[in-house]
Amino acid sequence: MTLEATGADIDIGKFWKTLGERPIGATVVTARGAGGPVGFLGLSAAHVTANPPTMLVSIDRKTSALTSVLESGHFAVNFLPEGQAALANMFGGKGEKVFAEGDWDTLATGAPVFNAALGVFDCAVDKVVEHGDISIIIGTVKGVRAKGDGAPLIFFRGKFLSD
């Protein structure tokens, strides 16, 4: 069934349904807060520019990890490989003991990085932009890691495809 709306007819449900038509590589965004490592499923992570290398993540202001990202001044964007839907769901709030799963390390900032990630950007917070109900965190890349092989975990129409 085709969905179409304009102007005031575009509600949150129609917005999310339309956004779901775009396949996204699943990412987990992490930081090391005062109480230990924190993270969330960051499906809106994106690059800003390559000169200087800069990434952004959007964080709902209700997400508990936001305080740790702001206080620590860092975050890492981890691109998940296929086979990691259970881990992604844990970071999406559908599980417990997230950092007990998998093998974790750090790069430059001290933010946790997932060793099995296809790629990682380790960033220092540079700027915060408040918009609507989210905080857009822009970070300068301080470390990178790329595997060079493997397939991504893809999120499409509300579910992970490769698992």
pLDDT, tens only, 35-62: 899 999 998 899 999 999 999 999 999 9
Residue 85 lies in a domain: yes
| DSSP bridge partners of 40 | 29
Q: Is residue 151 part of a domain?
A: yes
Please tell me the distance from the alpha carbon of residue 87 to that of residue 99, in angstroms, as a whole number: 9
**Angstrom distance (rounded) from CA 83 to CA 151:** 9
Residue 8 lies in a domain: no
Q: Is residue 6 part of a domain?
A: no
* Among 95, 98, 67, 80, residue whose Cα is nearest residue 153: 80
> What distance lies between CA 85 and its chain's CA centroid?
14
Q: Which residues pair with 56 in a beta bridge?
A: 46, 138
Residue 155, amino acid: F
Confidence of residue 22 (pLDDT cuts 50, 70, 90): confident
Which pLDDT belongs to residue 128? 97
- 83 phi and psi, to 5 degrees? 90, 0
Give the pLDDT confidence score for residue 163 in this predicted structure.
Answer: 52
CATH number of residue 77's parent domain = 2.30.110.10
* Inside any domain, residue 68: yes
Q: Amino acid letter at 25?
A: G
Give the domain extent around 36.
25-157
Residue pair 89/28 in contact by the 8 Å Cβ criterion: no
Counting the structural domains of the chain, the total is 1
pLDDT band at 19 (very low <50, low <70, confident <90, very high): confident
**What pLDDT sits at residue 18?**
86
Cα atoms in the 13 Å half-sphere on the side-chain side of 152: 15
Q: Quick one: pLDDT at residue 52? A: 96
Q: Tell me the pLDDT tens digit for each residue of 104-154.
A: 999 999 999 999 999 999 999 999 999 999 999 999 999 999 998 999 999
Residue 87 in any domain: the answer is yes
d(CA 51, CA 111): 22
Position 140 in a domain: yes
In a domain, 112, yes or no: yes
